[in-house]
Chains A and B, each alone.
Chain A
Amino acid sequence: MTVIKSKVNRRSFLKSSALAGGGLMISFSWLAACAPKEAAGLEMPDEWFDLNGFLKVGNNGVVTIMAPNPEFGQNVTTSLPMIIADELDVDWKNVLVEQAKFNTDIFTRQFAGGSQSVRQGWQNGLREAGAAARYMLVAAAAKEWGVSAGEIKTENGLLSHYNGKSAGYGEMASLAVGIEIPEDLALKTPADYKIIGTPRKNVKGKDIVTGKPMFGIDYEEEGMLTAMIIHPPAFGMRLKSFDGTAAKGMNGIKDVFTIQSFPNDQPRGYFSTDAFTDLVVVTGNSTWEVMQAKKAVQVQWEKSPATKITTGGFGRTQEVTVPAGLESSTDHYEQMQSVASKPGRIERRDGDPEAAFKRAAKVIERSYTAPFLAHNAMEPMNFFASVNGNDFKLAGPLQAPEMAEQAVATRFGVPLENIDIKMTRMGGGFGRRAYDHYVVEAALISQKAKAPIKLVYTREDDMTNGIYRPSYHATYRAALDEDNNLIAFHAKAGGVPESPLHANRFPAGAVDNYLAESWQIDSNITIGAFRAPRSNFIAGAEQSFLDEVAEAAGKDPIEFRLDLLKRAKENPVGERNDYEADRYAGILELVRDKSNWGQAEAGISRGVSAYFCHNSYVAHVLDVEMVNGEPKVKRVTCAVDCGIVINPLAATNMVEGAVVDGIGNSMYSHLTFRQGATEQTNFDKYRIIRHREAPESIDVHFIQNEIAPTGLGEPPFPPVFAAVANALYKATGKRQYNQPYMVQQQISLG
């Protein structure tokens, strides 16, 4: 029997100790069942001692470290505890990892998104959590041995003194509890890292390959019903009436009723995007029965009028009018082309771009488009809720639990402390699971059903009730003088319904005369964050265009960019340039060297692209071979600067995945609308990259430096789009302007 001992530190560390009871972490039976005891092959201790909210030490020296952030494949369950373990100076093989509960009293920013988990964890407490516990163990040993703490060394979970005394962390753990920690904790320097920077396998690997229940859709509780929603068949439509009589009479069906996720007169949070607020719900005993009953519900829909809603979050509240109408992609493309030809909103202006374009020897102008995209996480949207009076017990996959908790509190008028959220592993997210409408829906359904329920979206529900990557358009102009110098650059970008422009990114700062404009077209189609928002389109457009400009200037595309970066470094134009020219150039040089750029290989066509976003720099060289008239990506060479790499094994996997994702979305994926409805509703029509289309090899290289780690989930993704386009041009002689490159004929672009 394992005993949990938890004492309260008088002086709380990171607000943590008072609420850090180990019991909190394992009292929840479903998660406890997933604890990796056997997988780790470790003897469990008889007693645990909480040193702070991030970790507890067993009397036998085994350490449990909390993985504070939601996991959706970015591998933070392994990499964040690695940071703590290194400062604690413990042997990684004696570490157990548990997914922490959502708890804002202990943890900061339990959020998956923006490529920020490692970056913010590094800055905000993970290293201190490990160092503080180490300090406490050392202080306990010093007291016990009657020596000075400064004379005690730690190594791999062992404390030792030159007089010969030594003890494992487990032996000192009980004495370490409650020891005060100083304001300034000494942290390791990179030379002393033993775990950070070393390849460590996914701590959940064994659970994954043996099919252990760990995802939200696997979650179960006694007496739980399955619930599904029926939503309008098109954006711009809403519920008029329904008749659930026939469905209610079917086997295993409990009830058919309606819910309203967000009333229009209630301000919505930043992540409470939702097109279909009034939904029909079917509850029943099992998934298949509810799926069948859904088809038997008679529903009348009607066109929705223009609607005013109040959105807020991050301190900005604004009234937004959602337009009426049933929109189609063909109209969107026409509208985008039309609006793009008019002046936009000026976001940045350096020098005198108009004059420079007038005196140019050569002007190149090109336009680029991209369709809507659906996130299509492999695990369809789902959430568990058990609402009892004012008590909300919620569990499931979500990227932004803090915002979801707030959304539930607002919707039901209950205090945050009444809401308990368990974060399950997510079967992908890509931004979609930052949105909380399905959490609110689950809670409403449980409240109405008076039972614990799990809301499950079918794939069709997931794909047709999306919060999509917007459809975008960008027009670029470049002016070259007689000597093929880039003297002016003009970016004008917009979309349905937001602009993808980043006005202060490269080549801003490298060109004397620069103009950036934005525009957007209103829409009732819901859009939101999708892996590397906005960058996921604008990088492809910009880097495709620069390739063409380099060619027009008669320069090698890498040298052309390096020349511009040299200019931006030595004599930058403008006040605010978002990138560091040195680091940008660094990845281009690394990818040039590692890919043997410039060395021709029979049958291989190469494209290069580089981009800065989410605080990191990534360049790709992508090799295409024509096989039976079809382009096949053979090999991709990647150069990445994301500062210190915590776990090179996982980081490499992440870059490989982003490359595959980029190839897939640039070449194949698209979501189109006709009369407000998506024309793709499942994977038969919606194309996701498959095994056969993946590259043969992806060769990932990291810049070695000692810069605090930045993001990695998003940065390798945007530059892929242009690396593909530029390689396809070399392979086929045709420039690519409209995504997805391989299926343009299907969406008849302008």
Chain B
Amino acid sequence: MASFQLNINGEQQSVDVDPSTPLLWVLRDHLSLKGTKYGCGIAQCGACTVHMNGTAIRSCSFPVSAVGNQPITTIEGLSENGDHPVQKAWLELDVAQCGYCQPGQIMSAAALLKANPNPSDQEIESSMNGNLCRCGTYVRIKAAVKKAATY
């Protein structure tokens, strides 16, 4: 066990966990931030996507010991009132079905738009390709990413 000081959603958090613990489980089990989801544990589905320094990472395969003082943003911290352009576009187009993968989709989309404010269809497909949606909302997700780019 070791103590880690983390910067999560702009707040300093202290956790005492095994250094191998993936960031996902620190968020969910120790900090009660349940918006980041467990889907596969091997960085193949994207449900656990969070931002580190504004870049999308798969928190299920990212040990807490590698985070250091780099700022982490989760779905809970993406915006103050759920009004990030990506969240607004998701609501506008009524994207979700079951909703389980959507926090991960939204975090991937937000990171994409930060790096590339006007992505092409191909760029959306390739940067979102790691986020699985078993309900099949891909067509709406792509439309929502494009819509968010216009806000």
Contact = CB atoms under 8 A, between A and B. Distances in A.
Given A427-B98, A656-B139, A286 B25 contact: yes
A213 B33 CA distance: 8
A697 B140 CA distance: 9
Nearest to B102: A208
Contacts of B82: 206, 209-210
A691 to B, nearest CB: 5
18 contacts: A73-B97, A209-B87, A211-B33, A211-B36, A214-B99, A215-B37, A217-B37, A377-B98, A377-B134, A378-B133, A380-B38, A649-B94, A653-B94, A653-B97, A682-B44, A683-B45, A691-B124, A696-B139
Interface string A652-666: 011011111100100
B125 A378 contact: no
Interface in B44-100: 44-45, 47, 74-76, 78, 82, 87, 90-91, 94-100
A367 interface: no
A176 to B, nearest CB: 34
A661 B137 CA distance: 9
Interface string A360-379: 00000000000000001111
A653 B100 contact: no
B136 A694 contact: yes
Given A206-B91, A211-B35, A654-B97, A682 B42 contact: yes
Interface of A: 71-75, 201-202, 204-206, 208-215, 217-218, 220, 226, 251, 286-289, 291-292, 376-380, 425-430, 456, 458-459, 649-650, 653-654, 656-661, 664, 682-684, 688-692, 694-698
B22 A288 contact: yes
B119 interface: no
Contact of B18 (A220, A251, A380): A251
Given A425-B99, A656-B137, 10 more contacts: A208-B102, A210-B78, A217-B37, A251-B1, A286-B25, A377-B134, A378-B37, A653-B137, A691-B129, A696-B121
Nearest to A201: B94
B32 interface: yes
A678 to B, nearest CB: 15
B100 A427 contact: yes
B106 interface: yes
Interface string B115-128: 00000010011101
Given A73-B98, A210-B75, A650-B94, A378 B35 contact: no
Contact of B76 (A211, A251, A430, A691): A211
Nearest to B91: A205
Given A210-B75, A211-B103, A428 B134 contact: yes
Tell which of A212, A288, A682, A695 has the most Cβ of chain B within 10 Å. A288
A72 B100 CA distance: 10
B51 to A, nearest CB: 13
Contacts of B34: 211-213, 217-218
B29 A288 contact: yes
Which 8 A-B residue pairings sit nearest by Cβ, starting from the closest?
Answer: A211-B35, A660-B136, A427-B100, A73-B98, A211-B75, A73-B97, A694-B138, A208-B99
A378 B47 contact: yes
A320 B32 CA distance: 45
Contact of B132 (A72, A378, A426, A696): A378
A691 B141 contact: yes
B138 to A, nearest CB: 4
A201 B91 contact: yes
B18 A288 contact: yes
Contacts of B135: 73, 428, 657, 661
Given A209-B82, A210-B82, A286-B29, A378 B39 contact: yes
A292 B41 CA distance: 13
Contacts of A682: 40-42, 44
B30 interface: yes
A201 B90 CA distance: 11
A208 B35 CA distance: 9
Contacts of B47: 378
Contacts of A692: 125-126, 129
A211 B132 contact: no
A287 B137 contact: no
Residue among A211, A380, A661, A696 with most chain B CB within 10 A: A211
B134 A691 contact: no
Contacts of B142: 691, 694
Contacts of B128: 691
A207 B76 CA distance: 10
B63 to A, nearest CB: 10
A728 B125 CA distance: 22
Contacts of A220: 32
A732 B67 CA distance: 49
A200 to B, nearest CB: 9
Contacts of B121: 696
A378 B25 contact: no
Contacts of B140: 653, 656
A459 B46 CA distance: 13
A428 B98 contact: yes
B101 interface: yes
Interface string B2-34: 000000000000000110111001001110111
Nearest to B97: A73
Nearest to A379: B100
Given A459-B40, A692-B126, A660 B102 contact: no
Contacts of A656: 136-137, 139-140
B139 A698 contact: yes
Contacts of B132: 378, 683, 688, 690
Contacts of A73: 96-99, 135
A692 B121 CA distance: 10
Nearest to A199: B94
Contacts of A661: 134-136
Nearest to A376: B134
Contacts of B125: 691-692
Given A210-B87, A211-B75, A691-B141, A427 B37 contact: yes
